[in-house]
Amino acid sequence: MKIRHFISALLVLVCITGLRAQMHQPNRYEIELGMFDDSYEVLSGDENGVLLYKPLGIYLQGSELWQFVMLDTTLQKIWKKEYYIDRDLQFRGYDYFDTNYYFLFRNENSSTRDLQLFQMSIFTGDTLRYIVHNLVPLELREFEVTEGAAVIGGYYNMDPVVIHYDFKSRKTKVLPGIFGNRVELVQLKINEDNSISVLVSARTIDKRNTLALKTYTPEGEFINSFTFAPKTNLGLIFGRVENVSNNRILVSGTYGAKRSEYSRGLFIASYAIDQGQDVKYYNYADFDNFFKYMKARQQNRVANRIARKKIKGKNVKFHYRLLVHQIIPDGENYILLGEAFYPKYTSNSTYGGADAVRGSFGGSNYMPMNFAGYRYTHAVVMGFNKQGKMLWDNSFEIEDIVTYDLNQYVHADVTDKRIVLLYLYNDEIRSKIIKGSDVVEGKSFDNVRLKFEDDVVAKKSTINIGGLEKWYGHTFYAFGVQKIKNMKDQGVKLNRKVFYINKVVYSIPDSEVSLSKSKSMP
C-alpha cells in the first residue's frame, strides 16, 4: 500500500513537472561598456526588431554624438548609425509607428521652445527632421504618432494642452476644449481608426473627482466631449480608454471617496453617444484574490474584517494607491492590468536612525521624513466583458521593487489557454501563470541567460539597471547592465561590464492543469 501511494505521488510529481511552463531565451545581444558608460535605451519595433540608442558624451561644435543600433527579432545587428544632435535640444519623448521611429526634442535656448521631431526609418536608419512650432512653451508629458500627424500633450501654467502637428502641411494647432480648464491630463490615446481620445480629470458640480473623455478626428477636429457622473459620494480617480466599437468606448480605472486620491475599488464605465453612460463599481473587498499578495496571517485578518463588516450590513472600505496600466482585448472580453504601490519614507539620519521612521510629529520625537520612492506591492488582473461585468480576478505579488518613477513593471502575455504575468528584478525573470481566477503555476524565478557557458554575474555588483517589456506577439525582451566574470572560456575577458538584451518567450503544454488541484490529487 505504501509503495502504491509512493508511486502515485511520484506520477503526480512527474505530471506536474512535465506541465511546467518553459521560459526560453533563444537570443542575447551584448555591447561592452566602459566603467563610466551609461546604459542604452530600448525601443520596440514590433516584428521589425528593436532599436538601442543613447548619447555617447562626445561633443563637437555644440553638438553631441548619439548612437543608434537596429537589431532584428533574432537580435542580430542590421545597422548602426551615429548622428550629432544639437546640445540645445533636450530629449523629451519617443514613439514607433508604421516602420518609423520618432524622437521628440525641445529647444531649450529658443524663446518659443520650439520642438524638433526626428523620423528614423527602421530599414536604413535614415532620418527626416520636422520643426514643430510650439504655440505655447509646454511642460511635455505625452507623445503619440498617428497616420499623418504627431499629437503632443503637456501643461502650460498648470493647464493641460494638447497640440496636433500635421506632417504634410507642417502646421501646428491646439486641440480645442482642453486648455483653460484646470484639469489633469490622464491619457492620450490613438485609436485603431486613428481618431484621438483624450482622457482628463474633472470635477462634478458638487466638486467630486471624475473623468472626462474628449474625442477628435485624425486631423484634430473636435468630435464630442463627455463627463462621467459617478455614484453619489464617490469619485473617479484614474482610468484607461479602450474602443469597443465605432460608437462605444470603455473607460476602466479606480474610484474612491468623492474627493480622495485613494481608491476603494475598480470601476468599468461604457459610453455611447446615443445611450450615455453605464458605470459599474467593484469594491476591493469583493475580489477573490486582491489580498493574496499578503502573508497568510494578514490575509486571514483582512478576510475576518470583511466578514464582520458584511454581517453587520456595513460597507467595507479599503484605501489603496493603484495605477491601471492596460486594458487588453481578450477575444470578446477584456483584461485590466494594474499595480498597487505606496510611497516610502525614511527619517533624516541627522535626527535619528532608521528606527525613527514611524516617530510622532510632536515634542522631541519629531524626525524629518525623506521620500525614498514608491514600493510596489502587487499587480491586479481583472477580466470583464463588454457590458462591464467582472468575470474573474487574480493578483501577482511584487517583491523588492522600490522606484522613484511610477512605471509599469508587470507585463502580461494573454492567450486562450493562460495568462503569463512577469517582471524583471535583480537579474531574475519572475513569473506566474494564471487562467482566470485559477493559478496554473505559482511564482517562478528564472535567471537572465548569459552569453557564455562559464559567465557568472559578479556577486558584489550593485547594478540593477534594466527592465522587461512586451515586444511582439507572445514575445518579450529583457534588458539591463551586468558586471560579469568568466575564468574558464577561452578568448573571453576575465571581467566585463555589458549592456544586454535577451529575447524571452514562454510556452506551456496544451494539457494544462492547476498546480493547486494537482497537489490535492490522491
Q: pLDDT digit of tens for each residue in the chain (522 aa)?
A: 444 443 444 333 334 444 566 889 999 999 999 988 989 999 999 999 999 999 999 999 999 999 999 999 999 999 999 999 999 999 999 999 999 999 999 988 766 678 999 999 999 999 999 999 877 778 899 999 999 999 999 998 888 999 999 999 999 999 999 877 678 999 999 998 899 999 999 988 888 999 999 999 999 999 999 999 999 999 999 999 987 666 788 999 999 999 899 999 999 998 887 788 999 999 999 999 999 999 999 999 999 999 998 888 888 889 999 999 999 999 989 999 999 999 999 876 544 333 333 232 333 444 557 898 999 999 999 999 988 999 999 999 998 899 998 999 999 999 888 999 999 998 899 999 999 999 999 999 999 999 999 999 987 555 556 899 999 999 999 999 999 999 988 889 999 999 999 999 987 665 544 443 333 332
Structure confidence at residue 349 (pLDDT): 52
End-to-end, the C-alpha distance of the chain in Å comes to 13
Structure confidence at residue 418 (pLDDT): 92
Structure confidence at residue 107 (pLDDT): 86
Q: Is residue 439 within 8 Å of residue 432, measured between CB atoms?
A: yes
Which distant-in-sequence residues (6+ apart) come within 8 Å of 111 by Cβ? none
E strand residue ranges, 133-174: 139-146, 149-156, 159-166, 171-174
Structure confidence at residue 464 (pLDDT): 59
* Closest among 240, 258, 249 to 277, alpha carbons compared: 249
Q: Which three cell numbers stand for residue 141?
A: 508629458
Rg of the chain on CA atoms, in Å: 25
Q: Is residue 339 within 8 Å of residue 397, measured between CB atoms?
A: no
d(CA 409, CA 424): 8
Amino acid, res. 302: V
Structure confidence at residue 18 (pLDDT): 44
Structure confidence at residue 365 (pLDDT): 47
Backbone angles phi, psi at 226, to 5 degrees: -145, 135
The residue with cell 505530471 is 15
Q: Is 307 helix (H, G, I), strand (E, B) or coil?
A: helix
d(CA 312, CA 406): 38
DSSP state, 320?
B
Amino acid, res. 374: Y
Q: Is residue 208 within 8 Å of residue 201, measured between CB atoms?
A: no
d(CA 384, CA 390): 4
Structure confidence at residue 462 (pLDDT): 52
Q: What is the 3-state secondary structure (H, E, C) of 240-276?
A: EEEECCCCEEEEEEEEEECCCCCEEEEEEEEEECCCE
* Closest among 138, 132, 121 to 171, alpha carbons compared: 132
Structure confidence at residue 310 (pLDDT): 84
d(CA 185, CA 1): 68
d(CA 496, CA 479): 16
User: Structure pTM?
Assistant: 0.86
Structure confidence at residue 248 (pLDDT): 80
Q: Is residue 419 within 8 Å of residue 432, measured between CB atoms?
A: no
Q: Which three cell numbers stand for residue 390?
A: 467582472
From the number of C-beta atoms within 10 Å of its C-beta (0-12, 13-18, 19+), residue 281 rates as middle
Give the distance from CA 99 to its chain's centroid. Answer: 23
Q: Which three cell numbers stand for residue 91?
A: 530629449
The residue with cell 490575509 is 299
DSSP state, 298?
H
Sign of CA dihedral 486, 487, 492, 497: positive
